[in-house]
Structure 1
């Protein structure tokens, strides 16, 4: 790809980008959310037409009239983060989608099932061609996407954040498959925010920043410091920094006692102080999200009491009761449970302010809403062309900040953040950490639930470790135990057996 530019509604999101990928290599593409990675790959797939002046060459020959058909004919396949399968169809029908074999007027399903046996065997699939995709796990569905690409003779395979929904075991299997495909001569463009994956897989790394190609690194040149500086224009020093004042241990803003749901969460109790950042750590399935949802009233509880700002929340029947008490919750799945993707940034920010904005007869004061949105966009540094842009068009980090802006309009006492930096780049992470520090300085109690141990260690004043539905230990504070990744892992796995303090 040479001199690729792309403009949307007068906004130039790609600026003369060059990218070279060789057969038999894993070429990582990195950059902040909004840097232009996905747009560049959509140009490569033919989904977007580049501005005039650029060119795409495959096997050294320029491809004219480049579009989806030309991309497929030249062996380009893209596996997006949101998989594009038809769950009601079989594996074979999905692999042949758009290229169905026919016998007369009818689709020849038997021939299609026979035609994809070899590719499934080659990829090590443990399901059959006639299996319904709806019955497969996320990892298995991803394998179907790869099988479809290989079956269509793909030579350039683009993988966009492929490990986001996968467990560690599924990720290991995917990495083994990627290495196999590389050995077979495929060119693989791998997009990820996870440094460990880049170190493990990539032969070369290209970095985009603000729509420009800022450099390429060979494998032996890779380092976190160099990559971060290329991506965001700064180094890692002070990345995780507690810049908020020490909390007052005598000022408890929320008390949780004996919270239980009868399934996962069992008798959890803790105190949260005003101006404190409290981390909750544990292995996947430990019950961290379930505990947060119980506190927020999103799931029914069988036991437990909640007190906020010195007032008992006697009727916690749902999120509305928690919000009225001053507790808000940022969900781990912002797209499915947090944002209205087909609504504007302005409307998403103002969703919870509809009642105070409604004047006589229930008519919204749109001027007030526009002012609120403009102030939130400025204070949280949300990158958006205008408040009227649909939030679904934003990068992950900016979507997360829009959701935060909505919650902060409630003026909460307590903010629960569930995986606040999942799926966002390093630059957006830094912004979110800055916001957390500012909220703590403003006296808000912040609970951070995260699977990234450096994040928990670097941002939290105290850490509660959860295992099998129970809070088993406290680190930091007055516990006498240091907040370290090693201590968290030992407690989360049961290597250490220590009971936490309530406060």
Structure 2
């Protein structure tokens, strides 16, 4: 691993030396070294499964001392964290990709949860409120401390997590994919906040697959590959750009972010007309407003819209009315009108749906890979209503090889997989249903560029087989590089459709922010 140039005189606040961490059958980290200078923003990049999150869990005590080999030095002293409380007492706070907030509790209660200020042995709520207002002001959140977490968006929830960290007198803040679920404006606000914390002397470690954000804010970048530390780049000195980071991550230069593809588009086979759906709890709030669209065989259709525009709501409501209250509209499949009242009917009709939240809605984290792979089409492997375990294994092994899922065995639990490999298991589950139309909601969220390239190839291959594919994505470059046509959605309504040859970010953004619906 490269060392810091001699021109850098800032001392290291953190050094991790020769860290090795093993799980049964897998060496997740092998002799990894990491040095972070005080007051900098230090990014950690690598493909899914490279060991980024594992390394941070070692640092924060999630994997306690004794479960790994190697040494951790923080502020010049060797550390032996036995748990996350010990690392927090030292001033190291980690914010995981899955936020540790309780939706039913208020912002105030979440900030001080497990760390409540007391006076005479009783929780001092008045003092807590004053302190909460100070913390919320520091992170730029103007909502009332009494607001329940479930009533604020993911971007604001990230700010609450940072307020919690500031309350713990954080010296080193670790952020694992902090902008993965955020829209562009919320992401920029968060990045500005991280830079502001740097100005106040707080050191940050940031894990992210959004290389443009890394390039924007990071002072140094450590690259991991296959559980090993490859190099550390110093942005100001090394002229770092996205291509340079990618080369370190994958060991080669990617000539293109998208595989070459020549679409073979056939006839229209799926159509939604004048689709109206109300919010599941708020009757007078419409989440889908007179929306119409169609998909042709062999076509990849993109759906673009800002966060909250109603893309997911439209997709889920079409997929067996699994979201909202259906009011009116028709579905036409192969020229025949169909009524799909539930998910089972949607699957039987040839629809598949990969959800944006793979860990909550797409996977049962208690299951292994093989049972997950067949779970949406059990009847295919269950003659006489009894699951054929040999067939189950064969199917899972076939998709493991086809999708190149990195795992020692299909007997492995899905919770042991990296995010990209979990996404491949979800894809396998729905591919096994042999759908005619596959809806993919944020299919590459939290996935590195190498795994993205593989998943783009899978999507294109499905289209080559004559299937229709819908891709919902918050990343316009992804939609522009992948889609044959792109629909735009604003406030629950389809506001336009653009062919690939005419699509530009500016054109799409105009349609994504306009309430004018084309005739």
Alpha carbons of structure 1 residues 141 and 322: separation in structure 2 relative to 1, 3 Å: closer
The structure with the largest strand share of the pair is 2
Please state how far the C-alpha of 1:371 moved relative to its aligned partner.
0.8
Contact 2:43 2:222 in 1 (8 A): yes
- When residues 284 and 22 of structure 1 are mapped into structure 2, their CA distance, relative to the original with a 3 A threshold, is same
Q: Corresponding residue for 1:15?
A: 30
Partner of 1:266: 289
Alignment pair present for 1:328 and 2:344:
no
CA distance in 2, matches of 1:308, 1:79: 45
1:211 alignment counterpart: 227
Map 1:383-422 → 2, pairs under 5 A: 383-422=406-445
What is the Cα deviation at residue 114 of structure 1?
Answer: 5.2
Give the aligned length: 492
- 2:486/2:497 contact within 8 Å kept: yes
Distance change (3 Å), C-alpha of 1:4 and 1:324: same
Task: Work out whether residues 212 and 242 of structure 2, in 8 Å CA contact, stay in contact via their aligned partners in 1.
Answer: no
Q: Is the counterpart of residue 426 in structure 1 residue 444 in structure 2?
A: no
Q: Point out the more displaced range, 203-212 or 126-135.
A: 126-135
Q: Which residue of 2 aligns with 1:302?
A: 327
Evaluate the alpha carbon distance shift between residue 278 and residue 98 of structure 1 in structure 2; reply closer, same or farther with a 3 A threshold. Answer: closer
53-62 vs 368-377, which moves further: 53-62
In 2: Cα distance, 1:281 partner to 1:120 partner: 32
CA contact (8 A) 1:31 1:37 kept: yes
Q: Which moved more, 1:170-179 or 1:26-35?
A: 170-179
Question: Taking structure 1 as reference, are residues 389 and 474 closer, same or farther at Cα in structure 2, changes over 3 Å only?
Answer: same
Shift of 1:22: 1.3
Matched, 1:243 2:261: yes
Instruction: Note closer, same or farther for the CA distance 1:438–1:130 as it changes in structure 2 (3 Å cut).
Output: closer
d(CA) in 2 for partners of 1:284, 1:92:
25
Distance 1:41 1:140, change over 3 A: same
Report the 3-state secondary structure (helix = DSSP H, G, I; strand = E; otherwise coil) of the residue aligned with 1:267. strand
Counterparts in 2 of 1:317 and 1:19: CA distance versus 1, 3 Å = same
Do the aligned partners of residues 66 and 475 (structure 1) sit closer, same or farther apart at CA in structure 2, a change above 3 Å counting? same
Verify the 8 A CA contact 1:207 1:230 in the aligned structure 2.
yes
Deviation by residue 1:436-490 (Cα, 9 ceiling, x = unmatched): 111111111112222211111111122233344443433227xxx6222232223
TM-score normalised over the length of structure 1:
0.89
1:340 alignment partner in structure 2: 364
Q: Secondary structure at the match of 1:261?
A: strand
Q: Are the counterparts in 2 of residues 256 and 270 from structure 1 also a CA contact under 8 Å?
A: yes
Measured after TM superposition, the shift of residue 392 of structure 1 is: 2.4
1:351 Cα deviation from its structure 2 partner: 0.7
Q: Which of 376-385 and 229-238 deviates more?
A: 229-238
Q: Residue in 2 aligned with 1:491? A: 511
The TM-score normalised by the length of structure 2 is 0.86
Q: Which runs of 5+ in 1 are unaligned?
A: none
The aligned residue for residue 152 of structure 1 is 168
Cα distance in 1 between the residues matched to 2:177 and 2:307: 19
- The answer to whether the aligner puts 1:76 opposite 2:76 as a matched pair is no
Deviation at 1:215, TM superposition (A): 1.3
Checking the alignment, whether the CA contact within 8 Å between 1:330 and 1:404 is kept in structure 2 is yes
| Secondary structure of residue in 2 paired with 1:20 | strand
Cα 1:213/1:314, change in 2 over 3 Å: same
Contact 2:155 2:182 in 1 (8 A): yes
**Distance (whole Å) between structure 2 residues aligned to residue 230 and residue 259 of structure 1:** 47
